[in-house]
Amino acid sequence: MNFFRIQILFILLPLCPAMAQDPPAVPDERLINPDVAVYRRSATELWVYDVRPEAGVGAHNLDDNAIRIVRAANMRLVRLTMYWNLIETTATPGKYDARALAQWDDLLKRCEKGGIVPVILVHGNAPGVDFEHRQEGYRRFARFMHDMAKRYPKVQFWELWNEMDQGFTDLFGAQKPEIPLRARGKMYAEMLKLAYPAIKQANPKAWVLCGGMTNWDEFPRGIYEGGGRDYFDFMNIHTYGVPVLYGFVGRGLSLYSVMKEFHDEGRPIWNTEFGIDAGNVVNAWGFPHARKEPLEDGPEFDAVHLTTWRECFEDNARRRLYVKALGYQLMAGNETAKDKMEGEAKLPPGRKADDYGFGLLRADGKTPRPAYNWLKDSNPNKDVITTPQRTMDVEAYIPDGALPVGYTIDYEWRRPWMIIKDVKINALEPTIIKLGPAAEK
């Protein structure tokens, strides 16, 4: 028995959490379209969105060859990192490095030409920004995000900070053990209240992702308790640990339970990082040292890597926990147990530890690994790519009787449910339906 092929049985919450609602069902006609979810964003706004999961990938660098490689695997969503400190390089707010901006101008033009939809993660403290001056830092960040959203109106998705609950910045109390995670979440909400309106003012069509959290419990509670609910569009999480599928599902469902606690379970959830490198395999289980001639670990590392990506995407296709799931990473080497890997790993001739890192490609950035070939051949995005836009009837629970505003399509009541007819739905982003007061009886 290959001890890396550990199978875990989950007895968990319903498939498609966004569809798990408490209101009464319409007799015999519940879920007119199970591929669609409805989220009551506010009293005056209803979101209708496609729940068919879409697979994407992160990338530290994205040259034209990498764009071709991503598109060859039938993916379009790529998460890219914009470092605030590399653009706003001085302590003067609003003073930006022209060369850095020119590089982003070029990158985004190439993405558009190559059919890539960028998800832009923004983080990295600008000079003069730290925890002691965090309020000024939040204001500066909001100004920066306004300027970037205005400069790049074609960018649809902005992700604000990376694993900010535990590291990468001190602006929200990370790396300070005396500050509880819930308090950190409240600080993050303070930033959201400034940055979200700034982005929306610059580009009302942009969507804001909560930064990818590693904590699925106390930190998101802090965001809600701090009043952050109305200041981000999509919830977001990162799921690591071994077995990877355990965290991918279990942590996401735990986050969903927190959202439900705050009556926000209909909101779309993204996962913008998950994966495994050979070092994590070694830390968890030791070296495989497959009993083959010649004695090699490399094929086993590839097998675990492939199993991780396949199981996560296959489970998400069934469970529909995340509307978008972006694996880590197109090109990324081995980051853990490096000394042990270099000293003890039995790798094929010409291979090194970084060939078995997080990446879908080898360390050369060109050679595909088995996980990449599986993505290319199995095409988990087939349905989304084949029919990215659809028109269908949608069922919405509207107990207060609010009515669509300026919506030319038909609807009918089956109170407290409304059947909204011929709604145009794009698989990439929610359709927004404005709501007005209920008609007088």
User: What's residue 295's pLDDT?
Assistant: 78
Residue 143 gets the label, from left (phi > 0), alpha (psi -120 to 50) or beta, of alpha
What does the pLDDT look like over 291-308, one tens digit per residue?
666 678 999 999 999 999
Residue 119 · residue 77 · CB < 8 Å = yes
* Regions of the chain where pLDDT drops below 50: 1-14, 19-21, 25-30
User: What's residue 31's pLDDT?
Assistant: 52
User: What's residue 175's pLDDT?
Assistant: 86
Residue 150 · residue 189 · CB < 8 Å = no
The two beta strands, 324-327 and 54-58, are: parallel
- What angle is formed at CA 263 by the lines to CA 259 and CA 265, rounded to 5 degrees? 50
Contacts of 441 (CB under 8 A, 6+ apart): none
CB atoms within 10 A of CB 33: 17
Tokens of 256: 């969903």
Contacts of 181 (CB under 8 A, 6+ apart): 165, 215, 217, 218, 219, 222
Closest CA to 312 of 374, 367, 254: 374
User: What's residue 34's pLDDT?
Assistant: 86
Domain boundaries, the chain: 26-51+388-441, 52-387
Superfamily of domain 52-387: Glycosidases (3.20.20.80)
